[in-house]
A and B are shown apart, each in its own frame.
Chain A
Amino acid sequence: MSGLAGPGRGPDGGSSPVLPADAVRVGSRFSFRTRLTFGLVAAAVLPVAAFGIALAATEVAGGGLGDNVVRLLLFAITVAAMLGVILAYLLTADLLQPLRALARAVRRVAAGDLSARLDVVGEDELASLAESHNRLASDLQRRNAELGRILVAIGEASPRDGVARLVTKAAADAKAAFEMIDARVHLGDPADVPIEDDVPGDPRPVRAILALPDERLGVLVGHLPATRTWERADNDLLELYASEIAVAVRNAQLFEQVEAQTARLLELDAAKDDFLRGVSHNLQTPLTSIRAYADQLAADRPDRRLAIIGEQTERLSRLVRQLLAVSRIESGALRPRAEVLALATHVRRAWEALGADETAFELTDRAERWLAVADPDQLDQVLWALLDNAVRHGGGARVSVTIERAPREQVRVRIADDGPGVVDVDRVRLFERYARGTSGSGSGAASGQGGTGLGLYVSRELCRAMRGELVLEPSVSGAGATFSVLLPGEPPEDA
């Protein structure tokens, strides 16, 4: 509190100990009224007195009112009037000087210099006016400091702190800002905290409601030292602070709600993940057995029927994986690994897994030994889905795949069929979830009968997750559909 004038300092006739150097002394031993009366009386009485003196002198000089006498009389009156005016002027100056000093000090305070104080001498009316000014200035200065501390406290309040911490901090900040003995914030109905009586001499209780436009969140209560002045403006400031706390508390409550909801959503997401993992496991385990036994039987005694069992289990298990992939895409949980691989090998393996022996297959590798960077599992899913698509919608005649370099250090796999191609209506919707061709047969390359309608959607998302892309090439009349998988590429040179 050093550097600030104490509030309400009494008229002690001396100067304030921390008076600024340019302070002006205001007040006098004689009261303002005495001096004013004296001046007015002097100005009024002097000419009359002069007239009397002149008249008396004429009497002494010898009878009659001659011309000379009249002239002398006029002269005396003139001189006396002038003396009166001068005297009045001097007295006015004496009266105005402290008023001017006051005006200057008020102007400085108005301009924001709250340190402007007046040196009070004596106990006259001007002294008490100066005193009032000083008190006003120091009150303003104190409230300014309080406001500053409040603003800092408000600025520090973050909804992340949580309601409990915010409330504790708000009470501590209020205590410091208003120099209270104690302060606490009660959340809930303000009526729960009884209003204390203000007993003179005891610490003064203060109270401000944590009010929002639509709700009262609680109340801030505390005690001030008994000697502390507490004006309406101070109370307004406290109420302002309380309403700011209310806003901060409301924000923190909303934030906690959002946090809780987010946590709940994450929990649900994890639960869904667990569920899907379980479903996937429970579906894949029997499929593994079926597949393994079919393979074992086929190894002993080759049979086309066993091969079909093998292929169909493969298809089934891939559809299960597609469904799992959709859930991961939706929750943004695709985290592909960036392994280096040769595309031709993977294309060939995906084709073999498809088991479409009736369809002719052509693989042209023009990648100049460039390698792709991709997640082998995900790439396998993409290639299988696209090849499966090409077989089922391409009329079954021929599927040709070309691997080649593409601009911007990419490699491309073009998968083309000899089918009817994709009609324009379908081109737009093709990569949407659950998209299918517009008509049952020959209409497009979207996963139709036997598919989930997810193949292209999942494939495109998987490609994008691997920092690549899946596009449907512009159609050429008479030619089938051509899909291109683009993936980041790496030149094969010895490093």
Chain B
Amino acid sequence: MIGRPAGAPGGAPRILIVDDDPNLLVLLAEQLRADGFEIQTARDGEEALRRLSRGWPDLLVVDMMMARMDGLTLAREIKAKADLPIIVLTAVDAADSKADLLDEVAEDYVTKPYHYPELRARINRVLRRLGDRVPRQGLVLGPDLTLELHRRAAVVRGSEVKLTPTESRLLYALAANLGQTVTTESLLARGWAETEDADPSYVWVTMRRLRQKLESDPSRPVHLQTVRGIGYRLLASP
């Protein structure tokens, strides 16, 4: 799947990289160009916004900590204008208090020091997800279940339930095909793109855990149904 990202008909996907470290900027641009992406670079947030005013890329890679305008602010400003997918480069990991903020403005984030293949895999996955057309507002599936995937949460019987990145990815895929069966294989590809030797049991177990989080009776699921031997489907309650 290297260098063959989907989502940009008639040309290579365009990526805008924003980082105030010139070494990294040059290297990353070089690596991504070699993999067939069309790359633009910006040294800070203002330059990035100027470039955006002349045309939108398919994806942004933004460094979280920059001297003039930090990545979070930039990501928020961009999201206020257009729903462009953003990957944030950060020294922050999931355990950081800023991680939730990242979840809200960025499609994904890569922890520094990152390995290029991992970053590339994530770029590809985010670009593929574009086809899903999942709205950024809540998806009401019934009186007791609303999915708010853009902030990795669900509201179950009035109380908020946090979702892990993988869980929300699977729900994205299911919600984009609401009512239709999604195969276990495509869920696996969606949820575990960077994991070697991923196994269907990942999907099974994650779905089981999701049911425990979202369904009132996990043994008789209303929303998250198994289609034996094929996959799963997401249903709004009748």
User: Contact residues of A with B, CB < 8 Å?
Assistant: 270, 273, 277-278, 280-281, 283-289, 291-293, 295-296, 313-314, 317, 321, 325, 328, 333-342, 345, 369, 371, 373, 375, 377-378, 490-495
B:81-107 near A, CB below 8 Å: 90-99
Asked if B27 lies at the interface with its beta carbon under 8 angstroms from chain A, I say: yes
Query: Which residues does chain B contribute within 8 Å of A289, judged by CB atoms?
Result: 21, 23-24, 27
In the complex formed, the residue of A with least CB distance to B92 is A277
A340 vs B202: C-alpha distance when bound (angstroms): 6
B166 & A292 in contact (Cβ 8 Å cutoff): no
Contact A337 B209, CB 8 Å, known A281-B64, A342-B199, A492-B201: no
A281 vs B115: C-alpha distance when bound (angstroms): 16
Query: Which residues does chain B contribute within 8 Å of A317, judged by CB atoms?
Result: 112-113
Contact A494 B204, CB 8 Å, known A284-B113, A375-B95: yes
Q: List 25 A-B contacts (CB under 8 A).
A: A277-B96, A278-B65, A281-B64, A284-B91, A284-B113, A289-B24, A291-B115, A292-B31, A293-B27, A295-B115, A296-B31, A314-B113, A317-B113, A333-B96, A335-B99, A336-B95, A337-B164, A342-B198, A342-B202, A369-B201, A371-B201, A375-B95, A493-B201, A494-B201, A495-B208
Contact A288 B64, CB 8 Å, known A273-B97, A337-B165, A345-B197: no
The 8 Å CB contact of A288, one of B24, B95, B97, is B24
Among A281, A341, A492, A495, find the residue whose CB has the most chain B CB atoms closer than 10 A. Answer: A495
B204 & A339 in contact (Cβ 8 Å cutoff): no
Query: Which residues does chain A contribute within 8 Å of B207, judged by CB atoms?
Result: 495
Query: Which residues does chain A contribute within 8 Å of B200, judged by CB atoms?
Result: 494
Query: Which residues does chain B contribute within 8 Å of A293, judged by CB atoms?
Result: 23, 27
Asked if B206 lies at the interface with its beta carbon under 8 angstroms from chain A, I say: yes
A281 vs B209: C-alpha distance when bound (angstroms): 34
Asked if B116 lies at the interface with its beta carbon under 8 angstroms from chain A, I say: yes
Query: Which residues does chain B contribute within 8 Å of A495, judged by CB atoms?
Result: 204-205, 207-208, 211, 226
The 8 Å CB contact of A287, one of B113, B195, B198, B226, is B113
Q: Is the interface of A mostly helix, strand, loop or mixed?
A: helix
Contact A284 B112, CB 8 Å, known A277-B98, A328-B95, A377-B95: yes
CB distance from B37 to the nearest CB of A (A): 16
Question: Other CB < 8 Å A-B pairs besides A285-B24, A289-B24, A378-B95, 16 of them?
Answer: A277-B96, A281-B112, A285-B91, A292-B24, A292-B113, A334-B95, A342-B197, A342-B202, A345-B196, A369-B201, A377-B93, A378-B94, A492-B205, A493-B204, A495-B205, A495-B226
In the complex formed, the residue of B with least CB distance to A495 is B208
The 8 Å CB contact of A340, one of B95, B112, B196, B206, is B206
Query: Which residues does chain B contribute within 8 Å of A491, judged by CB atoms?
Result: 205
Convert B162-186 into 0s and 1s, putting 1 for each residue whose CB lies closer than 8 angstroms to a CB of A: 0011100000000000000000000
Query: Which residues does chain B contribute within 8 Å of A337, judged by CB atoms?
Result: 94, 164-165
A325 & B91 in contact (Cβ 8 Å cutoff): no
In the complex formed, the residue of A with least CB distance to B200 is A494
Contact A333 B205, CB 8 Å, known A280-B91, A284-B91: no
B91 & A281 in contact (Cβ 8 Å cutoff): yes
Query: Which residues does chain A contribute within 8 Å of B115, judged by CB atoms?
Result: 291, 295
CB distance from B25 to the nearest CB of A (A): 10
In the complex formed, the residue of B with least CB distance to A369 is B201
CB distance from B200 to the nearest CB of A (A): 8
A377 & B27 in contact (Cβ 8 Å cutoff): no
B95 & A313 in contact (Cβ 8 Å cutoff): no
B209 & A340 in contact (Cβ 8 Å cutoff): yes
B:193-224 near A, CB below 8 Å: 195-202, 204-209, 211
Query: Which residues does chain B contribute within 8 Å of A288, judged by CB atoms?
Result: 24, 112-114
A328 vs B204: C-alpha distance when bound (angstroms): 33
In the complex formed, the residue of B with least CB distance to A273 is B97
CB distance from A263 to the nearest CB of B (A): 16
Query: Which residues does chain A contribute within 8 Å of B31, judged by CB atoms?
Result: 292, 296
The 8 Å CB contact of B164, one of A270, A338, A492, A494, is A338
Query: Which residues does chain B contribute within 8 Å of A373, judged by CB atoms?
Result: 209
In the complex formed, the residue of A with least CB distance to B112 is A284
CB distance from B182 to the nearest CB of A (A): 15
B112 & A377 in contact (Cβ 8 Å cutoff): no
Among A328, A333, A340, A490, find the residue whose CB has the most chain B CB atoms closer than 10 A. Answer: A340
Among B23, B93, B114, B195, find the residue whose CB has the most chain A CB atoms closer than 10 A. Answer: B93
A335 & B201 in contact (Cβ 8 Å cutoff): no
Contact A490 B27, CB 8 Å, known A281-B64, A292-B116: no
A375 vs B111: C-alpha distance when bound (angstroms): 14
CB distance from A334 to the nearest CB of B (A): 5
Query: Which residues does chain B contribute within 8 Å of A338, judged by CB atoms?
Result: 164, 209
A314 vs B112: C-alpha distance when bound (angstroms): 11
Query: Which residues does chain A contribute within 8 Å of B94, judged by CB atoms?
Result: 335-337, 375, 377-378
A339 & B65 in contact (Cβ 8 Å cutoff): no
In the complex formed, the residue of B with least CB distance to A278 is B65
B:24-73 near A, CB below 8 Å: 24, 27-28, 31, 64-65
B209 & A377 in contact (Cβ 8 Å cutoff): no
Contact A371 B113, CB 8 Å, known A273-B97, A325-B95: no
Contact A333 B95, CB 8 Å, known A296-B27, A494-B204: yes
Query: Which residues does chain B contribute within 8 Å of A313, judged by CB atoms?
Result: 113
In the complex formed, the residue of B with least CB distance to A328 is B95
Query: Which residues does chain B contribute within 8 Å of A493, judged by CB atoms?
Result: 201, 204
Query: Which residues does chain A contribute within 8 Å of B196, judged by CB atoms?
Result: 345
B208 & A490 in contact (Cβ 8 Å cutoff): yes
In the complex formed, the residue of A with least CB distance to B221 is A495
A21 vs B116: C-alpha distance when bound (angstroms): 97
A338 vs B113: C-alpha distance when bound (angstroms): 23
A352 vs B207: C-alpha distance when bound (angstroms): 30
A285 & B197 in contact (Cβ 8 Å cutoff): no
CB distance from A479 to the nearest CB of B (A): 31
In the complex formed, the residue of B with least CB distance to A291 is B113
Query: Which residues does chain B contribute within 8 Å of A333, judged by CB atoms?
Result: 95-97
Query: Which residues does chain B contribute within 8 Å of A291, judged by CB atoms?
Result: 113, 115
A313 vs B23: C-alpha distance when bound (angstroms): 16
Query: Which residues does chain A contribute within 8 Å of B113, judged by CB atoms?
Result: 284, 287-288, 291-292, 313-314, 317
In the complex formed, the residue of A with least CB distance to B100 is A335
A317 vs B113: C-alpha distance when bound (angstroms): 7
